[in-house]
C-alpha cells in the first residue's frame, strides 16, 4: 500500500466522492465519504484548544480547495475558558505542496498557532485502503 500526505489523500477522496455523486454511484460515494470521515477523525487536530475536533465542509470543497471547519476554545491568563473563535482552514494547491488560509477572528494571534498545527497535520503520511 502506498502512503501519501494527508492533504493529497483528502483531495483525492473529495474529488472521487464528487465524481461518484455526479454519476449516481451511491455505493462508492458512501465509501469515499467514510474514508474522508475516518482520515479526518484520525489525523486532523483535536484537543489543545481544538476541543470540538474538525470536520470537512464538503459543500465548500472543490477540486481547487479543501475547507476544514474548526473552533478554538480560548483560555485567559488565569486558566479559565473565556470563549470560542470559529475558523475555516482553506487548503489550496501550490507548487511546493499547499497553501493555508484561515478565516475567523485572530483573537490572541490564534491564527499563527492554527496554521502551524494544521500544516503539520496535513503533512502526515497516511495510507488509504480501498
Torsion-angle region of residue 71: left (phi > 0), alpha (psi -120 to 50) or beta? beta
Provide the pLDDT confidence category of residue 130 given band limits of 50, 70 and 90: low
For residue 19, give the C-alpha cell. Answer: 465524481
pLDDT at 74: 92
Based on DSSP, count helices (H) and strands (E) in the chain, helices before strands.
3, 6
Helix ranges (DSSP H) in 24-109? 26-43
Q: How confident is the model at residue 49 (pLDDT cuts 50, 70, 90)?
A: confident
76 and 43 Cβ atoms separated by less than 8 Å: no
pLDDT, tens digit (0-9, with 9 covering 90-100), for 57-74: 999 998 899 999 999 999
Reported pTM: 0.90
pLDDT at position 68: 97
pLDDT of residue 1: 59
The C-alpha atoms of residue 113 and residue 68 are separated, in whole angstroms, by 16
For range 30-48, the mean pLDDT: 93
Average pLDDT over residues 13-20: 94
Over residues 3-16, the pLDDT tens digits come to: 999 999 999 999 99
Nearest-CA neighbor of 115 among 90, 80, 84, 95? Answer: 90
Residue 89 forms beta bridges with which residues?
Answer: 68, 102
CA 104 to chain CA centroid, Å, is 15
Confidence category of residue 127, pLDDT binned at 50, 70, 90: confident
Can you tell me the mean pLDDT for 80-95?
93
Instruction: Give the pairing type, strands 3-5 and 54-56.
Output: unpaired
Amino acid at each position: 500500500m502506498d502512503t501519501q500526505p494527508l492533504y493529497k489523500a483528502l483531495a483525492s477522496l473529495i474529488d472521487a466522492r464528487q465524481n461518484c455523486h455526479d454519476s449516481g454511484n451511491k455505493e462508492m460515494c458512501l465509501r469515499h465519504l467514510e474514508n474522508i470521515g475516518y482520515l479526518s477523525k484520525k489525523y486532523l487536530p483535536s484537543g489543545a484548544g481544538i476541543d470540538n475536533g474538525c470536520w470537512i465542509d464538503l459543500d465548500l470543497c472543490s477540486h481547487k480547495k479543501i475547507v476544514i471547519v474548526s473552533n478554538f476554545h480560548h483560555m485567559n491568563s488565569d486558566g479559565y475558558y473565556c470563549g470560542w473563535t470559529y475558523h475555516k482552514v482553506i487548503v489550496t494547491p501550490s507548487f511546493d505542496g499547499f497553501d493555508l488560509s484561515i478565516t475567523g477572528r485572530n483573537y490572541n494571534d490564534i491564527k499563527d498557532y492554527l496554521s502551524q498545527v494544521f500544516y503539520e497535520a496535513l503533512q502526515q503520511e497516511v495510507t488509504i485502503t480501498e
